[in-house]
Chain A
C-alpha cells in the first residue's frame, strides 16, 4: 500500500496568515493527489484534485502544487472558516489511502 504522510499534524495560525501543509507519498503517484477539508461535525469536502486543480466553488486562496512524491496545500490568507482538518489522498492505485490529517486551529 502507498503510505501518505502529512506534516505538520497540527498547526496554529491567525486570520490572514499564509499556511502550507505538506504531503509525501511513499512512492511516486504522479499528480494523483487530492486534498480535502473537514470541519468539525461535517463530512469532508474536496478542495483540490489532480494535485493542482481547484474544485468548483472553492475559494482561490486555496492552491495545490507538487507531483511525484511531494505535494503542498497552501492557503494564502486564512479566513475564520478555514480552521478545520485537512487530508491528502492518493488516487493513483487502490487502496486509495489518506494522510493522517492536519488540524489547523486558531492561534
Chain B
C-alpha cells in the first residue's frame, strides 16, 4: 500500500510562509486526490483543500483562499502545500492524505484512506 512521508516540523515567524511536502512511496498520480487537513492543538480536523494530481487542479477552503497553494510533482511523486502570511492561528499539525474512490450502489464515493504522520507547524514571534 502507498505510504505518505511528510517533511519535518517547522517553526515560523508571523507573516512568513511554510511549505510542507508529502512524498508518496508509489505513483502519486494514481491517487484520486491528495487532501490536506490540519488540526490545531486540542481541536478537531479542518479540511484545507485538495489537489487532483492527474489534472493538476486544486480546490481550497474559502477561509484559506489566497493564502494557500497545493501542487503535485509527478517526477518525484511529491505533493506540496504552501501557506503564506502565517498567523498564530495557523499553529497546527498538518496532514496530507491520499483519497481513494470506489463505486458502491451506483454512486462514486471517495475518502481519505492513506494519511501521512503529520507535520507540526508552530507560528510564533
A interface with B by C-beta (< 8 Å):
1, 30-32, 34, 36, 38, 43-46, 49-50, 53, 55, 87, 89, 91, 94-101
Contact = CB atoms under 8 A, between A and B. Distances in A.
B104 interface: yes
B44 A31 contact: no
Given A49-B109, A91-B110, A98 B102 contact: no
Contacts of B105: 31, 50
Interface of B: 35, 37, 44-47, 49-50, 59, 61-62, 95, 97, 102, 104-105, 107, 109-113, 115-118
A106 B112 CA distance: 27
Closest 7 CB pairs between A and B? A43-B115, A50-B109, A49-B111, A101-B44, A98-B45, A34-B111, A95-B61
A53 B44 contact: no
Contacts of B104: 50, 53
Nearest to B109: A50
Contacts of A1: 62
Where chain A touches its partner, the secondary structure class is: loop
B109 A95 contact: no
A95 B111 contact: no
Q: Which of A30, A95, A99 has the most CB of B within 10 A?
A: A95
